[in-house]
């Protein structure tokens, strides 16, 4: 239902046509002199028709992009409780550091002697990450969590192949993030799924039954996507190792344990760290992020290039495999990776300090448990026994027989000014509602969120409210979209 205004605008929220539908081709933001007559050197290949660029004056163009930017909802706008995403505040100090001319203005092809400070920054961040995980090696170049997974699995594959032991299977728990099976498949492995037990953890017996000499690796998320610490992780690591396989840990949920657990003590061989989650750099909309991967002694030799090391004339960037005996699996990213993201993370880490990082993970877990405890009054927690880690998981049993679904509930939250939590993930519970407040949020914000959710839950349970929920959201510029069609047949190209 569009609003009843002449323009279609809602107060000062303006209907925004595509840039191609605005202006006209002849209009321009700049005045260029007539091009001089020059001899055609394109041999008849020059464009005949109009170039088809939109024509707008500068203020129209500025307004278009400014208005588009205001349609974005982000952590700077409000509480963003998406589970599994660690949407935390990015302190502006990080931005200031990343904008320092010595960092922002360097070119990746500059000689190493002119960028010693930048190399030192990469190497210092790497040392912090190795220290926080207790791991002996790190690959800094992967550009995201999923890219880090690929890096880890490529190192694992290289290690197996080096021993002449080409294994085919990667084990992935049911509750895993979709990138885990996708990465294993991309890497040429067959994915075998491991069920969860009734406590939301990996079923150890089922895992052991599937571990044999065809298994290359286990990919396990810890804390897992149910927000729970894998309490049998030491037994899991031992079983994986005994089968001659490697233990890959998805470290996207590192925010729950930074400064409290050294993952090296858990028997892990490789783990990616999402700098854009745990270490506060911005994310969303597809990047840029960074996913450095820490590696164990067993995998160290296979790490990708480039890496920074101390040479005779200061720090140097090793760009190529070194030849004899060198086992690096190669390169997976242009230049060094997302340097600007690394600077933001380093600024965050240095400004927090070791104690500050410890405090942040403690507060993140406290906040999640606050949500779990208070919301359990009306919502149904999936694993009520015991505390959770950094995120709280509920399922849709509290909506049973109300005619309201998890989706309807989430849409109603939008009208109340809350971005919905992660829905229908993880798949191990029905109609999941997964929320992760992070340490960023104050008790005041959490209380307002809790009161809102409790009142929506009470309204649903009181009965007769299903139609009302199905009509939400009412106050957004667009209401319910055909999400299936949007995903299956997206219109990616504007045609006049
Ligand atoms: C976010 C996330 C990933 C993927 O990380 P990207 O940086 O988005 O590629 C993988 N696993 C888990 C559990 C995650 O939450």
Percent of the chain with pLDDT over 70: 98
Half-sphere exposure of 430 (CA within 13 A, CB side): 7
Q: What is the pTM of this model?
A: 0.92
CA distance 24 to 469: 42
Inside any domain, residue 275: yes
Q: Examine residue 289 and state whether it is found in any structural domain, yes or no.
A: yes
* Any domain includes 68: no
pLDDT value for 391: 97
Q: What is the Å distance from ligand 1's center to 51 Cα?
A: 40
Instruction: State the distance from the centre of ligand 1 to the C-alpha of 356, rounded, in angstroms.
Output: 24
| 153 belongs to a structural domain | yes
CA–CA dist 255, 278 (Å, integer):
5
The residue contributing the CA closest to ligand 1 atom 2 is 252
For the stretch 309-359, pLDDT in tens is 999 989 998 888 766 667 999 999 988 899 999 999 999 999 999 999 999
Which atom, in ligand 1's list, is nearest to the CA of 84?
A: 15
Asked whether 146 lines ligand 1 (CB < 6 A), one says yes
For atom 3 of ligand 1, which residue has the closest CA?
A: 145
Burial of 400 (0-12, 13-18, 19+ CB in 10 A): exposed
Q: Please indicate, yes or no, if residue 266 is contained in any of the structural domains.
A: yes
**Higher pLDDT residue, 211 or 12?**
211
Report the CATH number at residue 289: 3.40.640.10
User: Would you say the CB of residue 144 lies under 6 angstroms from ligand 1?
Assistant: yes
- Residue 46 clears pLDDT 60, i.e. is over it: yes
Of 10-19, 84-93, 197-206, the one with minimum mean pLDDT is 10-19
The answer to whether 427 and 174 have CB atoms below 8 angstroms apart is yes
Instruction: Give 381-426 pLDDT, tens digit per residue.
Output: 999 988 999 999 999 999 999 999 999 999 999 999 999 999 999 9
Q: Is residue 10 part of a domain?
A: no
pLDDT at 286 over 70: no
DSSP character at residue 424:
S
Work out how many domains the chain is built from and give that number: 1
376 CA → ligand 1 middle, Å: 27
- Span 171-198, mean pLDDT? 96
Cα 250 to middle of ligand 1, angstroms: 8
1: pLDDT strictly greater than 50: no
**Percent of the chain's residues with pLDDT above 90:** 82
Q: Which structural domain range is residue 187 located in?
A: 92-348
Answer yes or no: is 188 within a domain.
Answer: yes
Output the average pLDDT for the chain.
Answer: 94
Is 231 inside a domain boundary?
yes
């Amino acid at each position: 239902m569009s609003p009843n205004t002449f323009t279609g605008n809602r107060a000062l929220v303006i209907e925004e046509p595509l840039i191609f539908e605005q202006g006209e081709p002849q209009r321009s933001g700049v005045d260029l002199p007539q091009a001089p007559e020059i001899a055609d050197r394109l041999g008849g290949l020059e464009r005949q028709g109009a170039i088809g660029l939109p024509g707008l004056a500068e203020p129209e163009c500025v307004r278009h992009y400014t208005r588009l930017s205001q349609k974005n909802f982000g952590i700077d706008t409000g509480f963003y409780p998406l589970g599994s995403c660690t949407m935390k505040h990015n302190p502006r100090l990080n931005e200031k550091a990343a904008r320092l001319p010595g960092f922002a203005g360097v070119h990746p092809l500059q000689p190493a002697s002119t960028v010693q400070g930048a190399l030192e920054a990469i190497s210092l961040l790497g040392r912090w990450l190795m220290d926080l995980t207790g791991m002996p090696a790190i690959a800094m170049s992967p550009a995201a969590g999923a890219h880090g997974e690929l890096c880890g699995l490529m190192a694992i594959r290289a290690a197996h192949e080096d021993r002449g032991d080409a294994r085919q299977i990667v084990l992935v728990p049911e509750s895993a993030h979709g990138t885990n099976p996708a990465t294993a498949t991309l890497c040429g492995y067959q994915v075998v799924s491991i069920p969860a037990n009734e406590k939301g953890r990996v079923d150890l017996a089922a895992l052991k039954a599937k571990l044999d000499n065809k298994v290359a690796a286990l990919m396990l998320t810890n804390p897992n996507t149910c927000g729970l610490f894998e309490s049998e992780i030491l037994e899991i690591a031992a079983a994986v190792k005994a089968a001659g396989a490697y233990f890959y840990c998805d470290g996207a949920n590192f925010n729950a344990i930074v400064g409290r657990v050294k993952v090296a003590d858990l028997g892990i061989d490789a783990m990616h760290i999402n700098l854009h989650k745990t270490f506060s750099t911005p994310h969303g909309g597809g990047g840029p992020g960074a996913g450095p991967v820490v590696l164990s002694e067993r995998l160290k030799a296979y790490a990708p290039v480039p890496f920074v090391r101390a040479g005779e004339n200061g720090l140097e960037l090793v760009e190529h495999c070194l030849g004899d005996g060198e086992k690096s699996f190669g390169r997976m990213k242009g230049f060094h990776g997302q340097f600007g993201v690394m600077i933001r993370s380093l600024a965050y880490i240095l400004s927090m300090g070791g104690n500050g990082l410890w405090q942040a993970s403690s507060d993140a877990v406290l906040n999640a448990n606050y949500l779990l405890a208070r919301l359990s009054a009306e919502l149904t927690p999936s694993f009520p026994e015991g505390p959770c880690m950094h995120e709280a998981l509920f399922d849709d049993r509290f909506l049973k027989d109300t005619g309201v679904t998890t989706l309807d509930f989430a849409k109603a939250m939008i009208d109340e000014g809350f971005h919905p939590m992660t829905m229908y993930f993880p798949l191990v519970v029905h109609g999941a509602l997964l929320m992760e407040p992070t340490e960023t949020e104050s008790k005041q914000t959490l209380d307002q969120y809790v009161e809102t959710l409790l009142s929506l839950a009470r309204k649903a349970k009181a009965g007769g409210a299903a139609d009302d929920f199905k009509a939400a959201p009412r106050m957004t510029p667009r209401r319910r979209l055909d999400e299936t069609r949007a995903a299956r047949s997206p219109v990616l190209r504007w045609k006049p």
